[in-house]
């Protein structure tokens, strides 16, 4: 099984590769605009490649598409740190996406926000295979919930409340998942999203952020995730 993990920034990429203690210096290959770190697990049945594709859904989609064009993959994972909605995912927790949602893709109207689907264009969510979401949650302790993809990170209590009113099953927000999912879908590859919560969604208070702890949690999650991936057969990987 070959897995492509897409993060936004090198710090997240390195947190994932640290899960593979037997790979001190992963080999690297180039794709346009990014480097793929082949973290692997020598002798195992799962090959894990990790790239830092940039912040935001557009950069993530482009980097994922180039990565998927470089080799055949069975699974793509959007991974990194993110904000958690305090009622669902406190700081320090892990969230695995039951839905990958483009939360601000649409139009503002006098009556409020209208998603792109209501405008008659495209889609605004992807649903990862539920059985795989359950497996990841059981292995890592991650909380299943919708992860919202936003182009502008939430910075106020009012905006956080508005997002929850529109997406009551939301557990976290980040900036890349939907872009990764778009590229994976168009390549016919299954997708997951896994986030470690570094801060609460709402007013920006950098003093309360726990980025180091979140990156460590991300490392720990991937250490627990690989045995799960090794247990998935080809049929299972594509089973909803």
Instruction: Using only the alpha carbons of the chain, give its radius of gyration.
Output: 17
Question: Is the residue at 134 inside a domain?
Answer: yes
Question: Is the residue at 67 inside a domain?
Answer: yes
Is pLDDT of 42 > 80? no
Band of pLDDT at residue 238, cut at 50, 70 and 90 = very low
* Average pLDDT score over the chain: 90
Question: Is the residue at 113 inside a domain?
Answer: yes
Give residue 129's pLDDT.
93
Rounded Cα distance between 162 and 52, Å, is 30
Higher confidence at residue 94 or residue 45?
94
Would you say 230 and 30 are in contact if contact means Cβ atoms under 8 Å apart?
A: no
Question: Is the residue at 238 inside a domain?
Answer: no
Question: Is the residue at 240 inside a domain?
Answer: no
Would you say 139 and 96 are in contact if contact means Cβ atoms under 8 Å apart?
A: no
Is pLDDT of 64 > 90? yes
Q: Which of 112-121, 167-176, 190-199 has the lowest mean pLDDT?
A: 112-121
Q: Which residues lie below 8 Å from residue 172, measured CB to CB, with a gap of 6+?
A: 82, 83, 84, 85, 88, 89, 95, 145, 147, 148, 195, 197, 201
How buried is residue 223: exposed, middle or buried, by Cβ count under 10 Å (0-12/13-18/19+)? Answer: middle
Domain count, the chain: 1
Residue with tokens 């470690």: 196
Q: What pTM does this model have? A: 0.91
Q: And the tokens for 37? A: 């770190």
Is pLDDT of 111 > 70? yes
Is pLDDT of 222 > 80? yes
Is pLDDT of 44 > 80? no
Q: Which domain holds residue 197?
A: 2-233
Question: Is the residue at 132 inside a domain?
Answer: yes
Question: Is the residue at 80 inside a domain?
Answer: yes
Question: Is the residue at 21 inside a domain?
Answer: yes
Give residue 41's pLDDT.
59
Domain harbouring 152, CATH code: 3.40.50.1580
Would you say 6 and 176 are in contact if contact means Cβ atoms under 8 Å apart?
A: yes
Q: How far is CA 144 from the centre of its chain?
A: 12
Q: Can you tell me the mean pLDDT for 44-55?
A: 89
Other Cβ atoms less than 10 A from the Cβ of 209: the count is 16
Band of pLDDT at residue 12, cut at 50, 70 and 90 = very high
Q: Which of 75-79, 147-151, 159-163, 232-236 has the lowest mean pLDDT?
A: 232-236
- Residues 98-110: pLDDT tens digits? 999 999 988 888 8
Band of pLDDT at residue 170, cut at 50, 70 and 90 = very high
Would you say 199 and 174 are in contact if contact means Cβ atoms under 8 Å apart?
A: no
Give residue 43's pLDDT.
58
Q: Can you tell me the mean pLDDT for 40-66?
A: 87
Pairing state between β 34-38 and 47-52? antiparallel
Q: Can you tell me the mean pLDDT for 29-52?
A: 80
- Residues 84-100: pLDDT tens digits? 998 889 999 999 999 99
């Amino acid at each position: 099984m070959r897995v492509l993990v897409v993060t936004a920034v090198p710090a997240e990429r390195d947190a994932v590769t640290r899960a593979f203690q037997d790979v001190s210096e992963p080999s690297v290959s180039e794709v346009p605009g990014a480097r793929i770190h082949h973290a692997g697990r020598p002798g195992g049945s799962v090959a894990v490649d990790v790239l830092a594709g940039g912040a935001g859904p557009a950069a993530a989609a482009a980097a994922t598409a180039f990565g998927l064009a470089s080799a055949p993959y069975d699974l793509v994972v959007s991974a990194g740190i993110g904000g958690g909605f305090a009622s669902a995912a406190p700081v320090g927790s892990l969230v695995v996406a039951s839905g990958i949602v483009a939360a601000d893709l649409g139009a503002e109207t006098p009556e409020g926000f209208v998603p792109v689907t209501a405008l008659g264009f495209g889609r605004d969510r992807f649903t990862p295979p539920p059985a795989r979401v359950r497996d990841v949650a059981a292995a890592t302790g991650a909380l299943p919930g919708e992860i919202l993809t936003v182009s502008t990170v939430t910075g106020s209590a009012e905006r956080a409340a508005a997002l929850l009113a529109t997406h009551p099953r939301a557990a976290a927000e980040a900036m890349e998942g939907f872009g990764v999912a778009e590229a994976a879908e168009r390549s016919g590859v299954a997708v997951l999203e896994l986030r470690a919560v570094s801060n609460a969604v709402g007013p920006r208070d950098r003093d309360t952020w726990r980025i180091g702890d979140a990156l460590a949690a991300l490392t720990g999650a991937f250490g627990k995730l690989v045995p799960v991936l090794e247990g998935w057969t080809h049929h299972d990987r594509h089973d909803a």
